[in-house]
Chains A and B, each alone.
Chain A
Amino acid sequence: LAKTTQPISMDSYEGQEVNITCSHNNIATNDYITWYQQFPSQGPRFIIQGYKTKVTNEVASLFIPADRKSSTLSLPRVSLSDTAVYYCLVGDPRGGNTPLVFGKGTRLSVIA
């Protein structure tokens, strides 16, 4: 399983763009990168998933360089409600009995 490394915490002011980087040096050819968001006392929520280059949805963008050894989750114009823990997971969504493992996550604090 590809191990992931993220910053433990980040602070940001409201309205700023936040970029959270995840390192996954031993990512496998078939692995995708998936990000989840978790608010206190709630279950994690899927944010975005990608394989290469750039993926964008209504919530975030995911940037993946050509070597795929890292990825960056970009949250545009954060608000107080974006304060949460963000987890980066790496794995092959097409199968196998090897489950995804949550890393330690990045605790984002948005300040007014």
Chain B
Amino acid sequence: DTEVTQTPKHLVMGMTNKKSLKCEQHMGHRAMYWYKQKAKKPPELMFVYSYEKLSINESVPSRFSPECPNSSLLNLHLHALQPEDSALYLCASSQGDSQETQYFGPGTRLLVL
């Protein structure tokens, strides 16, 4: 299984809502990532988990809260988002740490109203 899955595919939420994005991989990878991608822009790294511990937080606002319950799962909890947070949120995993080949999921398209 060389797939990274993400749910939901699409999400619409209001600025007062709380929602979560989920990511799962069963490749035995020990590093997992969250990226944010705006239209016609490259992916921007948000968080890196290495061996289930948060290793990199790229100065992301606290309204985004990552969680890694185990080595196969990665969540991104969303609260009090702003309309400018609307984007494609991508999850990725890699065998080891940050520089290894990353496998990306299809993303969650988020719209904040």
Contacts and interface: CB of A to CB of B under 8 A. Distances in A.
Interface of A: 32, 34, 41-46, 49, 87, 91-105
B97 A95 contact: yes
B90 A43 contact: yes
Contact of B102 (A41, A46, A103): A46
A96 B101 contact: no
Interface string B2-36: 00100000000000000000000000000001000
Given A43-B90, A103-B42, A95 B96 contact: yes
Interface residues of B, number: 28
Interface of B: 4, 33, 41-45, 48, 50, 55-56, 88, 90-92, 96-107, 109
Given A96-B98, A97-B56, A99-B33, 8 more contacts: A34-B101, A41-B106, A43-B4, A44-B102, A46-B101, A96-B99, A99-B48, A99-B56
Contact of A41 (B45, B50, B99, B107): B107
Contact of A96 (B43, B44, B97): B97
- Chain A to chain B: the 7 pairs with minimum beta-carbon distance, closest first: A43-B104, A102-B42, A99-B98, A93-B99, A91-B99, A43-B90, A46-B101
Contacts of A87: 42
A42 B107 contact: yes
Given A99-B45, A102-B42, A102-B43, A43 B92 contact: yes
B99 A94 contact: yes
Nearest to A30: B99
